[in-house]
């Protein structure tokens, strides 16, 4: 970056600037951790000298340090492509009517509270409420760097076991809901068109337009050989203008094809999650006859169900990232 020549190519310098920004952010967080550590040691020294009131401050400092350390550890585990992206999160209830719809709304609250804990902003892209309670579907945009990396392990079927608040006989029910997470795509998708992939042909325009239209080969037809897409333009008198228009049409068609391919991939991933029912769950939340949340992939579990449903997901996220990076998920 100290080389002036580097700044002549803005596209080449952009990834370097992004890497620099990421490293600066990590360095800043590490410095903040050291500062909080010094604060903790100061409070502990005061406690040792008999300042009992400093014990509560020392505990608060320790809790704050621990929380920030866990967050930084998770960020350092995010190294896959797309981890830095913002997240789009979808929740769909499984079979079971109002029971499953209520469970889907509980998951919505859980992820909303988690996002608030991490200072992420939330935008509702779609929300369909249930007739009696809960929701039929919801789509969220969770705004903030690395929100996708944090949440990618939440994709799958989530199971709830509880005494139903909708059952007059107070029987135990099992409900399912599906969570899908994918990275927010940039609206500016670059479509590369190589000259060697194009077959360009000039021809005489037909139709109304006067003598000039019929006497000159101003119309342009372009064949994109890799895709087989054919476009043409003959509305302008200038061959150059018609070529420019034809290329715009070609780029639009290629963009549409790329978006369709990405959408098909998302649908394939969604279907790969399997049925939203027993045997396909990634995590079970048990409220009766005992209290336990267990991730079936990593084996991590906790009995503090209330905290988890209130958005305290970091331990599960960290365990999944360690699990994901260790390669155990491939077995």
46-65 pLDDT, tens digit per residue, is 888 888 778 888 888 898 89
Residue 78: phi, psi to the nearest 5? -90, 95
202: number of CA atoms within 13 Å, CB side? 15
- At 272 the pLDDT is 53
Q: What does the pLDDT read at residue 241? A: 85
Residue 220 has pLDDT above 70, yes or no: yes
DSSP secondary structure code for residue 132 in this structure: S
Q: Is pLDDT of 331 > 70? A: no
**Residue 274's pLDDT is what?**
52
- Cα angle at 114 between 108 and 116, to 5 degrees? 105
For CA atoms 316, 320, 323, 326, the dihedral sign is negative
Task: Determine if residue 203 is left, alpha or beta; phi over 0 gives left, psi from -120 to 50 gives alpha, anything else beta.
Answer: beta
Query: Taking residues 219-224, what's their average pLDDT?
Result: 91
CB 302 within 8 A of CB 323: no
Structure tokens that stand for 173 in this block: 């029910």
Is residue 308 within 8 Å of 117, Cβ to Cβ?
no
Q: What is the mean pLDDT of the chain?
A: 84
Global pTM reads 0.64
Provide the pLDDT confidence category of residue 225 given band limits of 50, 70 and 90: very high
The reported pLDDT for the residue numbered 215 is 58
Taking only the tens place, the pLDDT of each residue in 204-217 is 765 544 444 455 67
Determine the pLDDT at residue 208: 46
* 318 vs 316: CA distance, rounded Å: 6
Would you state the structure tokens that stand for residue 326, as one six-digit string? 């260790």
Cα 109 from Cα 227, distance rounded (Å): 45
Domains and CATH numbers, the chain: 4-76 (no CATH), 87-187+276-330 (3.30.70.1660), 195-264 (3.30.160.20)
According to DSSP, the β-strands at 301-302 and 292-295 are: antiparallel
């Amino acid at each position: 970056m100290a080389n002036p020549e580097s700044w002549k190519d803005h596209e080449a310098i952009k990834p370097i600037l992004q890497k620099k920004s990421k490293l600066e952010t990590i360095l800043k967080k590490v410095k903040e951790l050291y500062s909080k550590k010094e604060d903790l040691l100061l409070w502990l020294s005061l406690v040792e000298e008999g300042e009992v009131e400093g014990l509560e401050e020392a505990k608060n400092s320790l809790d704050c340090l621990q929380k920030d350390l866990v967050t930084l550890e998770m960020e350092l585990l995010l190294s896959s492509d797309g981890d830095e992206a913002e997240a789009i999160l979808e929740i769909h209830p499984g079979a079971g009517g109002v029971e499953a719809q209520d469970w889907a709304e509980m998951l919505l609250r859980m992820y909303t509270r988690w996002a608030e804990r991490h200072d992420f902003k939330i935008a509702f892209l779609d929300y369909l409420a249930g007739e009696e309670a809960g929701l039929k579907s919801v789509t969220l945009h969770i705004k903030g760097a690395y929100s996708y990396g944090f949440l990618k392990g939440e994709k799958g079927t989530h199971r709830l076991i509880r005494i139903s608040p909708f059952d007059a006989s107070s029987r135990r029910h099992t409900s399912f809901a599906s969570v899908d997470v994918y990275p927010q795509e940039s609206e500016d998708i670059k479509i590369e068109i190589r000259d060697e992939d194009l077959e360009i042909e000039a021809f005489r325009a037909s139709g109304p337009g006067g003598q000039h239209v019929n006497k000159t080969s101003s119309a342009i037809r372009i064949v994109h050989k890799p895709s087989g897409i054919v476009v043409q333009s003959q509305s302008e008198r200038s061959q150059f203008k018609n070529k420019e228009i034809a290329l715009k049409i070609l780029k639009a068609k290629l963009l549409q094809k790329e978006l369709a391919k990405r959408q098909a991939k998302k649908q394939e991933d969604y279907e790969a999650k399997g049925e939203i029912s027993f045997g396909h769950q990634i995590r079970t939340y048990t409220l009766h006859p005992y209290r336990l949340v267990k991730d079936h992939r990593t084996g991590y579990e906790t009995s503090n169900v209330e905290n988890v449903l209130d958005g305290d997901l970091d331990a599960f996220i960290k365990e999944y990232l360690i699990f994901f990076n260790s390669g155990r998920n491939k077995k």
